[in-house]
Amino acid sequence: MSVLLLGSGSGLAGVRAATFAAPLGGSLLSGVGVAMIGVLWAYEGWANVAASAGETLEPQRSFPPGIVIGTAALIAIYLLANVAYVAALGPAAAARTDRVAAEAVRAALGPGAGRLIAAAVLVSMFSAANGLTLTNSRVYYAMASDGVFFRKLAEVHPRFGTPAFSVLVSSAWAIVLAATGSFEQLFTYVIFAAWVFYTLAGASVFVLRRRRPAAPRPFRVPGYPWTPLLFVASAVAIVVNTIWARPQRSLLGLGIVALGLPAYHSWRRIHARRADR
């Protein structure tokens, strides 16, 4: 479909003028940073896949190349699709619509094809929600297994061998969120909170190297220390820019994350008392 849109559209002719119309400055860079929130949401699965490592054979061997190859392939697909949308609609029309795939196909092939693409996008959204729910439920399961969440979520289904109750809870919570917020609000909260923790996870590489230099490391960070340093710097820039550009949503997201601290310490105390009995 992308190749068809590239071949039939003429919207790329106006890309150069539209790209360099705005002067380079702080406001433009901040705007790019805000736009990156939506872009990063499209790639959010790269981190969620690690939640299933406990159910994978030889994750140290299969996960690094799987994540690299999968992410690279996804980048190529997304870039091709977005260039095709601009080719079909032109920069101005692509910027105006919030249903760019359907509008691009409608412009190239007619309204019937546009409706089919809109239906395919809905199927894709449900598939993504399904995958995220299945992987995120493993986080609840791990927390419950460590004694810092409801014990019921650590139960494994006797037939399927999965944390079925955790999957149900994760699905129910996703439904509540989808019913109470707009799409832009939800992905801003998710990406902002997620990249706070990605920053901490990247920085923890330096802490663990210093505190536990002799610890076994089946996987070593390529290009250390520059690779994690670049990642942490980029993540900090995304978080700080989001706070500056979207202060209300960012502070609300930080508040929700902060609520986890007293809950975590309370469950730790309860778990410690049970262990002493």
Q: Across residues 181-188, what is the average pLDDT?
A: 71
24 to 104, 115, 155: CA distances (angstroms): 29, 38, 54
Q: Across residues 43-49, what is the average pLDDT?
A: 74
Cα–Cα distance measured from residue 48 to residue 16, given in angstroms and rounded to the nearest whole number:
36
Q: Across residues 216-227, what is the average pLDDT?
A: 84
Q: Which of 54-68, 125-139, 216-230, 258-272 has the highest mean pLDDT?
A: 216-230
| pLDDT score for 8 | 66
| pLDDT score for 232 | 94
| pLDDT score for 204 | 92
Q: Across residues 199-212, what is the average pLDDT?
A: 91
Which string of b and e fits 202-239 if b means at least 16 CB within 10 Å? Answer: bbebeeebeeeeeeeeeeeeeeeeeebeebbeebeebb
Q: Across residues 207-223, what is the average pLDDT?
A: 86
User: What amino acid occupies position 101?
Assistant: A
User: What amino acid occupies position 74?
Assistant: L
pTM score, whole prediction = 0.71
| pLDDT score for 276 | 64
- Give the model confidence (pLDDT) of 85-135 as tens digits: 888 777 777 777 777 777 887 777 777 776 777 787 778 778 877 877 888
User: What amino acid occupies position 216?
Assistant: P
Cα–Cα distance measured from residue 38 to residue 42, given in angstroms and rounded to the nearest whole number:
7
User: Structure tokens of 232?
Assistant: 């942490």
Q: Across residues 6-13, what is the average pLDDT?
A: 63
Cα–Cα distance measured from residue 269 to residue 277, given in angstroms and rounded to the nearest whole number:
13
User: Other CB atoms closer than 10 Å to residue 240's CB: what's the count?
Assistant: 12
| pLDDT score for 241 | 84
Q: Across residues 223-243, what is the average pLDDT?
A: 89
Q: Across residues 143-158, what is the average pLDDT?
A: 87
Residue boundaries of the structural domains of the chain: 1-109, 120-180, 181-277
**pLDDT for residue 80 is more than 90:** no
**pLDDT for residue 201 is more than 80:** yes
Q: Is 93 exposed, middle or buried (0-12, 13-18, 19+ CB in 10 A)?
A: middle
Dump the DSSP string for 247-268.
HHHHHHHHHHHHTHHHHHHHHH
Q: Across residues 223-240, what is the average pLDDT?
A: 90
| pLDDT score for 102 | 78
User: Other CB atoms closer than 10 Å to residue 141's CB: what's the count?
Assistant: 25
Which residues lie below 8 Å from residue 257, measured CB to CB, with a gap of 6+?
193, 196
**Of 230 and 136, the one with more pLDDT:** 230
Chain length of the chain: 277
**Of 82 and 169, the one with more pLDDT:** 169
